[in-house]
Amino acid sequence: MPRLTVGLFPPKLFRPLLSRNVSSPSSTVQRGSSVPHHHHHARCVSRHRHYSSSSSSSSPSDKNTSSSSSPSPLKFAPFVAIVAIGTGSYILLVKSRSSGKPAPQGKFIKRMSTPRFSSDDVTVVFFLGGPGAGKGTQSANLVRDYGFNHLSAGDLLRAEQTREGSQYGEMIREYIREGKIVPMEVTVTLLSNAMAEILEQGTSKSTNPPRFLIDGFPRQLDQAHFFEASVCVSKLVLFLECPEEVLQARLLKRGETSGREDDNAASIKKRFTTFLQTSMPVVDEFEKQGKVISVSATGSIDEVYELIKEKLQEKGISPV
């Protein structure tokens, strides 16, 4: 990369570009020890976020210099622009080389003034719960009895990472392996396209309007906002509550036969921590809107399903 020779520019013009100090935000998340029950909804997480930022910049001036003797500022404007552009480009280059993760590229759905689908034409239910809460098992029951079209965000991402020709496969694989959330543009695009394909091909279950059960999504607030602004406003959020020790035991047992590389103790811990930090605020947000159905998932499969059916009936969703 060509080196900039500082001596070519007056010190008063060059120095302000190097005097910016920014401190990044920090956050702390603490988890409580209470175990949720279906008769008493107890929060398992308390969140305390602390943000601090400061920035300073200075621009030198000489008020005592007469207008007749000082050079016109217009003469130096091109130099200032060149230095600013060069400095900004260098910072972006350094960040892109040091991030270690490729940024999402390609054609993704964009935030629109109106969602792609109307909530009058389709019914969207988000299905949330910690890893191992039983979302997949209960989804099968809901598809069978309620005519839901089941869309698993995790399944769509896993299919995309192994799809031939996918330029995002390696990126998705790395995020899943690290227990981190895949960029929302990728996930929302996959979900939106899957919904459109089901509706266009006429393969939707026989319900009016068509019902979509979106499993494991949204996992953070910006995903929820982006989906509802771009795809469809949700009707309900079905939330399976389950303590960490139960989830871990279930996943380790499943890992003996599932073959999934994230069903190990280290990944399970990361996934649960990520869920607490990012997904619980989603539940809280929708709970304020009166959309959340909370069900204790510590019982047997049949016991949990009976609770789900009772809650759905209360919200006006009946079997088909």
d(CA 39, CA 241): 12
pLDDT digit string (tens) for 124-166? 999 999 888 999 999 999 999 999 999 998 899 989 988 888 8
CB 296 within 8 A of CB 246: no
What is the pLDDT of the chain when averaged over all its residues? 74
Domain ranges, ordered by start, for the chain: 7-16+71-98, 123-314
77 vs 117, higher pLDDT: 117
Give binding residues for ATP as ranges: 132-137, 254, 299
Return the CATH number of the domain spanning residue range 123-314. Answer: 3.40.50.300
Provide the token pair at 123. 């019914």
CB 294 within 8 A of CB 241: yes
What single DSSP character describes residue 236?
A: E
d(CA 35, CA 121): 38
Check pLDDT > 90 for residue 58: no
Indicate the length of the chain as a whole number: 320
- Other C-beta atoms lying within 10 Å of the C-beta of residue 224: 21
d(CA 199, CA 210): 8
Look at residue 192 in the predicted model and tell me its pLDDT. Answer: 96
Highest mean pLDDT among 81-85, 86-90, 144-148: 144-148
- Write phi, then psi, for 228 (nearest 5 degrees): -70, -30
d(CA 108, CA 183): 11
d(CA 251, CA 268): 8
pLDDT digit string (tens) for 286-312? 999 999 999 999 999 999 999 999 999
* CA-based nearest residue to 313, from 135, 151, 146: 146
What single DSSP character describes residue 276?
A: I
- Other C-beta atoms lying within 10 Å of the C-beta of residue 47: 15
- Other C-beta atoms lying within 10 Å of the C-beta of residue 189: 21
Look at residue 50 in the predicted model and tell me its pLDDT. Answer: 33
Give binding residues as ranges: 132-137, 158, 180-182, 216-219, 223, 254, 260, 271, 299
* CA-based nearest residue to 317, from 61, 164, 145: 145
Q: Where are the alpha helices (DSSP H) in 35-183?
A: 73-98, 135-146, 153-162, 169-177
Find the mean pLDDT for residues 54-77. 46
Look at residue 281 in the predicted model and tell me its pLDDT. Answer: 93
Provide the token pair at 186. 């990728």
CB 283 within 8 A of CB 237: yes
Residues pairing with 150 in the sheet:
213
Give binding residues for a ribonucleoside 5'-phosphate as ranges: 158, 180-182, 216-219, 223, 260, 271
> Rounded to two decimals, what is the model's pTM?
0.62
